[in-house]
Amino acid sequence: MKCKKLQENVEAAVREMGLACDVEKVTDMQRIIGYNVMTTPALVVDGQVKVAGRVPSPDEIKKLLA
């Protein structure tokens, strides 16, 4: 499943960067719609949608978090 792969990639990127942060998988459709996300999976960082509708690589995620 793409959502699971995105979570794995985010956790890998965070671990590789040595960041101390919370990674949360959101499954509540109302919260997802609240971000105006219409295609999943999506990556939201500090309330801002960074990627939607695809699974970015750990390297791409690291660039988004830097």
pLDDT of residue 1: 87
**pLDDT mean across residues, the chain:** 95
Residue 34: count of CB within 10 angstroms of its CB: 10
Tell me: the pLDDT tens digits for 38-66? 999 999 999 999 999 999 999 999 999 98
DSSP SS3 for 35: coil
With a threshold of 0.95, does the pTM exceed it? no
Q: What average pLDDT score do residues 22-33 get?
A: 94
Domains contained in the chain, CATH given: 2-65 (3.40.30.10)
With tokens 């830097």, the residue in question is 66
